[in-house]
Homo-oligomer: A and B are copies of this chain.
Amino acid sequence: MTTTRRYPGDPEDPGLPYNAFAKECPSRGTLEHVTGRWGALTLGALSGGSLRFNELRRRVGGVSEKMLSQTLHALERDGLVHREAQPTNPPRVDYELTPLGHEAARRVLSLIHFLEDSMDDVLLARESYDARGAR
């Protein structure tokens, strides 16, 4: 038998209709929405339950109205976030994760928490890198 060499994104890998490592794959776009600068934090913030626009804005430190709005539209279009608008005055709009969004958010939060827990190591690595970089 021939050796099968498999790696993430191997174009020869059977049964993988979508491959984020391939430039043209639509999953690439969704990956960018989810892992983008504000996408990951937005999903993470919503993982605790539904939030209104300005609540969300306060939870995601530093995001502008424009960027939060764009991020939410992209996530809603991908079916990860549901937007619930009440036609009251003043208007009230709640954002919440869909079941798919919850699954994605769990994985995103796992990464975020891991990195937060590893920051002492990361900061040490940076010091070491910067010190060596001088030579």
Contacts and interface: CB of A to CB of B under 8 A. Distances in A.
Copies of the polypeptide in the assembly: 2
A118 interface: yes
Most buried by B among A9, A35, A129: A35
B116 A79 contact: no
A8 B7 CA distance: 33
Given A7-B45, A36-B35, A47-B8, A26 B123 contact: yes
A40 interface: yes
Interface of A: 6-9, 16-24, 26-27, 30-32, 34-37, 40-41, 44-45, 47-49, 59-62, 76-80, 100, 103-104, 107-112, 114-119, 121-126, 128-130
Nearest to A8: B44
Nearest to A55: B7
Most buried by B among A37, A110, A115: A115
